[in-house]
Structure 1
Amino acid sequence: MSLSITSTIRLSSGHHIPLLGFGVYQNYDSKTSVLEAFKVGYRHVDSAQAYRNEAHVGAAVHESGLKRSDVFITTKIISKYHGYESTLKGVDESLERFGFDYIDMFLIHDPYSGTERRLDTYRALLDTKSTGKIRSVGVSNYGVKHLEEIRRAGLEMPAINQIELHPLCQQKPIVQYCRDNSIVIQAYSPILRGQMDHEVFKSVATKYKRDPAQILLRWSLQKGFVPLPKSATAARIYSNAQLYDFELEEEDMTRLDALDRGKDGAITWNPVDAD
């Protein structure tokens, strides 16, 4: 599997997303962190309205010297603000905070608002895409039933579903549904928020002379996911991107695959079963 930090995958929208993303959840110095990530080679940043750092991410893009077209920026709208008109308003507010003419990917952050408001929000994002304010539409924390309601409504399927994914929480039914429907799978909390003391993680890391985070991120890439590691530490931002001069052997992928605990393995809110 030949991969590099510049590797991308084509979305159903026709746009390409870098396979390695940089998350900024709970990062309160995100401009500095994003600038550091750009120096390392990241070109994909995952933000959200609820993170309250869109302006900082936008400032980093503007100060980086990179072309806007060279970076892929994601944001999200949380259920508190779901609804057709509120979503249209929210997109404009995000654009203003970022200082952008367009946003690459806009996700529904969670499914907690119920079927009607979820679909109204999704329709608003699709309509906004048609005007060019956003390039691609996706969802986050969506289970199969939430994805199915989009299909049953006769709407185009999301380009992305961003869910918690790591060896302890593999969400296999959702992953299979996404693969069957050409939905790219993003993995948040791919390094378990630093909870990487499992003996298998340490054993595989020792074998490859790597740290556990690099093993988990490489596993995610080899599974075909788009992992979103986050850090505010320059050394960790760098090391989390050093994933391309080794490949996990099949036996080690199998060892990591065998750790799946289903929902019990989740370490975050993971609202994929919300009504």
Structure 2
Amino acid sequence: MADQHDVPRIALNSGYDIPQLGYGVFKVPPAETEKVVLEALELGYRHIDTAAIYGNEEGVGAAIAKSGIPRDEIFLTTKLWNDRQGGDEPRAALEESLTKLGVDYVDLYLIHWPAPANGTFVNAWKQLAALNEGEAIRSIGVSNFLVEHLEAIHGETGVLPAVNQIELHPAYQQRDVVAWCADHGVHIEAWGPLGQGKYDLFGVPAVHDAASAHDRTPAQVVLRWHIQKGNIVFPKSVKADRLRENFRIFDFALSDAEMSAIDAIDPGDGSGRVGAHPTELH
């Protein structure tokens, strides 16, 4: 079994670094959150990703407190929801999240969606940039931003996000967004790294063949593909055995041919997207 020391850390443009593998609590019921986050921490996870809209920040905070792990050894992310982007709302929303989490700071604070129809994401980015000058946030970033949204916030402020957290899995690789981020020193966090079970990723020969070759599960192969691509991932599960399985991806490597075969799964036409489109969710 791997431990937290096996997880690579990626240097962000903020001067801080982030564990490349973490644990996400999207759709984890609030009543179960403390238990499963505590299990993840006990297994060696040191990167937890939550959001205000998930309704489970209190459970995340309770698990961190109960774990006994020093706060500075845990990388904690939460997110600003769409209806809190205007005016001074980002500051108030951050304070509410800190209270629910029971911490003095978050390591990463993200704008959850651009919600362009609301016309407030640039204001939200300006507010996060100002908040980032204090002690309550270590790094700031965005989630679900397309190139047009990234160019808008950068053009208005000159401030680049540390990360862009986007839907990314073998069937939907968002190559234009990834290329822009690579050119500007913005790291990619992949949400739904396994496609959220919404299509038969594991039935694809490229994944199945690699899993057979390495005596690993298809999920481990796909997570390893992300790691070798340089993506930051935080798969979600409420099962301890799956948490353990997801952590066991640092003692093997995919070949160049296996990586290329998985790269080729996405036809590039956007048909593999399983989540909401960033221009449509508000």
Matches within 5 A, 1:130-145: 130-145=133-148
* Identical amino acids, percent of aligned pairs: 38
User: Match of 1:269?
Assistant: 276
Deviations 1:42-85 (A, max 9, x none): 10011000000111001111010100000000011121221131
Contact 1:4 1:244 in 2 (8 A): no
Deviations 1:85-114 (A, max 9, x none): 111110000000001100110000001144
User: Match of 2:202?
Assistant: 197
User: Match of 2:9?
Assistant: 8
Give ranges in structure 2 of 5+ residues lacking alignment.
none
Contact 1:54 1:98 in 2 (8 A): yes
Contact 2:60 2:101 in 1 (8 A): yes
Partner Cα distance (1:244, 1:202) in 2: 19
Secondary structure of the corresponding residue to residue 197 of structure 1:
helix
Contact 2:33 2:59 in 1 (8 A): yes
Q: TM-score, normalised by structure 2?
A: 0.93
User: Match of 1:86?
Assistant: 89
User: Is 1:111 aligned to 2:114, yes or no?
Assistant: yes
Distance 1:272 1:214, change over 3 A: farther
User: Match of 2:240?
Assistant: 234
2:53 is aligned, of 46, 50, 53, to: 50
Partner Cα distance (1:185, 1:273) in 2: 21
User: Is 1:187 aligned to 2:190, yes or no?
Assistant: yes
Contact 2:114 2:279 in 1 (8 A): yes
2:213 is aligned, of 207, 217, 230, to: 207
Partner Cα distance (1:125, 1:154) in 2: 11
Give ranges in structure 1 of 5+ residues lacking alignment.
none
Q: TM-score, normalised by structure 1?
A: 0.95
Contact 1:84 1:123 in 2 (8 A): no
User: Match of 1:123?
Assistant: 126
Partner Cα distance (2:252, 2:113) in 1: 35
Residue 13 of structure 1 and its aligned partner are, at CA, apart by 0.6
The alignment of Structure 1 onto Structure 2 pairs a total of residues equal to: 273
2:78 is aligned, of 75, 81, 84, to: 75
Q: What RMSD, in angstroms, separates the aligned Cα atoms of the two structures?
A: 1.7
Distance 1:157 1:52, change over 3 A: same
User: Is 1:225 aligned to 2:226, yes or no?
Assistant: no
Distance 1:227 1:111, change over 3 A: same
Residue 271 of structure 1 and its aligned partner are, at CA, apart by 1.4
Distance 1:20 1:121, change over 3 A: same
Partner Cα distance (1:98, 1:170) in 2: 32
User: Is 1:257 aligned to 2:269, yes or no?
Assistant: no
Contact 1:24 1:30 in 2 (8 A): yes
User: Is 1:173 aligned to 2:176, yes or no?
Assistant: yes
User: Match of 1:155?
Assistant: 158
Partner Cα distance (1:4, 1:178) in 2: 27
152-161 or 100-109, larger mean C-alpha shift: 152-161
Distance 1:97 1:230, change over 3 A: same
Q: What is the one-letter code of the residue matched to 2:23?
A: F
Partner Cα distance (1:147, 1:42) in 2: 30
